[in-house]
Amino acid sequence: MLKVAILGLGNRGINYGTLLLGREDAVITAICDLDAERVEIAKEKFKNPSVRTFASAHELFAQGKIADAIFICTQDRDHYGHTMQALELGYHVMVEKPVSPNPQHCLDIEKKAKEKNLKVIVCHVLRYSAFYRKIKAVVDSGALGNIVAVRHSENVAYWHFIHSYVRGLWRREDETSPLLMAKCCHDMDLLYWILGSRCESLSSYGDLVFFNEKNAPEYSTLYCEDCPKRGECPYDAYLQYLGRGDHPAPKFPWGTYPVANVGTKERLEAALHKGQYGRCVWHSDNTVNDYQLVQMAFENGVHVQFSVEAFSNENYRKTHIFGAKGELYSNDLDETITVQLFGKEKEVIDMSLNHQDAYGGGHVGGDLGLVNDAVDYLLGNKVEEGNLTLIRDTYESHKIVAAAEESRKNGGKTVKVHEAK
């Protein structure tokens, strides 16, 4: 039986803990968050009223080792320190991405884990999705021939972006991470894994092009509650979190847990009143990009074009892989993979039924796949280690991001990834 402690009870900590309930060989024995209400919510969701509870990481770690493994789901800049403390105490670790804005911290963690003979898994959940494992299987089969180029995009829905990166916890690079690290280190890991090669060099462009003061309409106000366009503006916080029956935008209300813990009308209205999540999208204090392009050359000769933008109606990733014998293109929103071998009939693979049976959960089934593989790996059960997101692999994805940021901040200059600062 794997005993698990969960540090951080935001959306990710709650999600992983809930998925863990499906395992008969794992049990949550301790939970921790700075927010006492979230601790009580987690106790109820995890159906364990006797679970040990802690009000801070300091308090939890002061107990010594009280579980076999710890899931670290705190804020970006806390991951490194919490992971090092956990390893020192003898915990196996599953840590949310990104590990740190500084890639060197990944190597520090790797060294500490080896010294302590402990395991560390990073939550790059896309590798654990049956959808993306199928794409990798097609590439690895050689059916497409030598891979020549890849176009991959992460299209962040406007309602997700304004929640997380304009009003939310990841809005400021100096407090968390650049957008490419916070949101897209998933994608850098995915490309590194699917192509089976390190990135050699790259160039990048991007900026905060829309959600800033210079684009604010004359009528706009600091808070949505005072705006004359309240109820009409697609970025209206009250539409975002309280909803309106006849509004055509998708996924409303959305993101209420980070705003108020409990999604009642009264609690949400109180949180939005002169609060951070009630700010106008053009008058917030956000600094992260809302668009970025990265052109990459991998060591195996493959060229990759990647983009992330905040201007789509839904969240989805599109991938187009060009090979000497055929092409593959996919859209994880409709969960289809199309393989077109030259001179043959097109094959459309519907992965929706597959992932419902095999994985389920968010990130095209990757969340549950991660939890299941993590538990099996930590218990010593058989897993495909080549599909695991270990700390050395995470160093590679984080180095790509660091190099891209160096390039972007220097006018798009070409940067050698492993020479990046």
- pLDDT surpassing 90 at residue 94: yes
Contact 106, 394 (CB under 8 A): yes
Of 162, 168, 160, 164, the C-alpha closest to 276 is 168
- pLDDT surpassing 80 at residue 249: no
Of 145 and 363, more confident: 145
Contact 13, 46 (CB under 8 A): no
Per-residue pLDDT, 248: 57
Per-residue pLDDT, 255: 84
pLDDT in tens, 172-228: 999 999 999 999 999 999 999 999 999 999 999 999 999 999 999 999 999 999 999
| Cα first-last separation, the chain | 43
Tallying the residues shown for the chain, one arrives at 421
Lowest mean pLDDT among 278-282, 300-304, 323-327, 333-337: 333-337
Burial 24-38 (b: 16+ CB within 10 A, else e): eebbbbbbbbeeeeb
- pLDDT surpassing 70 at residue 65: yes
- Tell me what the pLDDT averaged over the chain comes to: 93
Per-residue pLDDT, 263: 86
Distance of CA 180 to the CA centre of its chain: 10
Tokens of 189: 């890991």
- pLDDT surpassing 90 at residue 244: no
Spell out the SS3 assignment of the chain. Answer: CEEEEEECCCHHHHHHHHHHCCCCCEEEEEEECCCHHHHHHHHHHCCCCCCEEECCHHHHHCCCCCCCEEEECCCHHHHHHHHHHHHHHCCEEEECCCCCCCCHHHHHHHHHHHHHCCCEEECCHHHHCHHHHHHHHHHHHCCCCCEEEEEEEEEEEHHHHHHHHHCCCCCCCCCCCCHHHHCCHHHHHHHHHHHCCCEEEEEEEEECCCCCHHHCCCCCCCEHHHCCCCCCCCCCHHHHHHCCCCCCCCCCCCCHHHHHCCCCHHHHHHHHCCCHHHECCCCCCCCCCCEEEEEEEECCCCEEEEEEEEEECCCEEEEEEEECCEEEEEECCCCEEEEEECCCCCEEEECHHHHHHHCCCCCCCHHHHHHHHHHHHHHCCCCCHHHCCEHHHHHHHHHHHHHHHHHHCCCCCCEEHHHCC
Parallel, antiparallel or unpaired: strands 120-122 and 291-298: unpaired
Residue 366 pLDDT level (bands cut at 50, 70, 90): confident
Residue 250 pLDDT level (bands cut at 50, 70, 90): very low
pTM of the model: 0.94
> In the predicted model, what is the mean pLDDT of residues 127-151?
96
- Distance from C-alpha of 74 to C-alpha of 169, rounded to nearest angstrom: 11
- Distance from C-alpha of 257 to C-alpha of 261, rounded to nearest angstrom: 4
Structural domains of the chain, ranges and CATH numbers in brackets: 2-122 (3.40.50.720), 129-211+286-355+391-419 (3.30.360.10), 213-278 (no CATH)
Per-residue pLDDT, 243: 82
Of 177, 183, 125, 196, the C-alpha closest to 154 is 183
Per-residue pLDDT, 358: 42
Contact 346, 151 (CB under 8 A): no
Per-residue pLDDT, 253: 65
Cβ neighbours for 389, distance < 8 A, ≥ 6 positions apart: 121, 122, 123, 124, 127, 189
Per-residue pLDDT, 252: 57
